[in-house]
């Protein structure tokens, strides 16, 4: 039996992460503007060097490294768990962190394979900035599929009283089409 978190936990977490993202962007913009660094940041080293002048060389690199390590660990955990859960949903095996590893071998196996595969990809690709851009372009091209499935689930899979219909459904579809169009435009223009 799986426990369910209240919806307010998700809302608070969502708002908090967006506020943190905004704070990091504002801090980076202020740092880059005050240090007079050009906007051509093509590698992790250049980004690190651009963010370190205000804190000093050693502390700046340490703070930048801890930030990158923390962000990459969160991304690795969230993405790999989401994939392991999704595969488990489709394949019908136990798919929750509430089970011990030997009770849900496939779930933890898929999770571990994702983490190891992602680590190997990052280890062997020499241009991490290029890898990040390529991942975002891939996200833009997969966006129609993801949003399409989410809308289909909201129309067909939710309990009858909660299913989307009528004006709200058409507003959601309209907004989804706009978001997909902007994402595809950005993805295509990023390749050119």
- The residue extents of the domains of the chain are 8-54, 64-124, 127-192
Q: What is the pTM of this model?
A: 0.56
The pLDDT value given to residue 98: 79
Residue/partner pairs of 45-48 with CB below 8 Å, 24 or more apart: 47/129
Q: How far apart are the first and last CA of the chain?
A: 50
Tell how far CA 60 is from the center of its chain: 25
Asked whether residue 51 carries a pLDDT value surpassing 50, the answer given is: yes
Asked whether residue 59 carries a pLDDT value surpassing 60, the answer given is: yes
The pLDDT value given to residue 1: 45
The pLDDT value given to residue 192: 65
pLDDT above 70: percentage of residues in the chain: 83
| C-alpha to C-alpha distance for 167 and 159, rounded to whole angstroms | 18
pLDDT per residue as tens digits for the range 71-107? 778 877 888 888 888 888 777 777 777 788 888 888 8
Q: Is residue 50 within 8 Å of 31, Cβ to Cβ?
A: yes
Asked whether residue 141 carries a pLDDT value surpassing 70, the answer given is: yes
């Amino acid at each position: 039996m799986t426990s369910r978190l209240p919806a307010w936990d998700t809302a608070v977490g969502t708002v908090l992460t967006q506020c943190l993202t905004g704070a990091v962007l504002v801090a980076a913009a202020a740092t880059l503007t005050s240090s007079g660094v050009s906007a051509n940041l093509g590698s992790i080293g250049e980004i690190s060097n651009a963010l370190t002048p205000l804190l000093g060389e050693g502390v700046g690199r340490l703070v930048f490294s801890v930030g990158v390590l923390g962000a990459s660990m969160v991304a690795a955990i969230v993405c790999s768990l989401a994939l392991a859960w999704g595969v488990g949903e489709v394949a019908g095996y136990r798919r929750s962190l509430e089970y011990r590893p030997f009770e849900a071998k496939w779930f933890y196996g898929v999770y571990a394979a994702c983490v190891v595969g992602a680590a190997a990809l990052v280890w062997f690709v020499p241009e991490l900035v290029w890898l990040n851009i390529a991942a975002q372009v891939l996200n833009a091209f997969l966006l129609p599929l993801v949003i399409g499935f989410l809308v289909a689930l909201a129309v067909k899979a939710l309990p009858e009283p909660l299913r989307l219909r009528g004006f709200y459904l058409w507003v959601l579809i309209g907004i989804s089409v706009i978001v997909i169009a902007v994402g595809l435009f950005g993805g295509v223009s990023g390749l050119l």
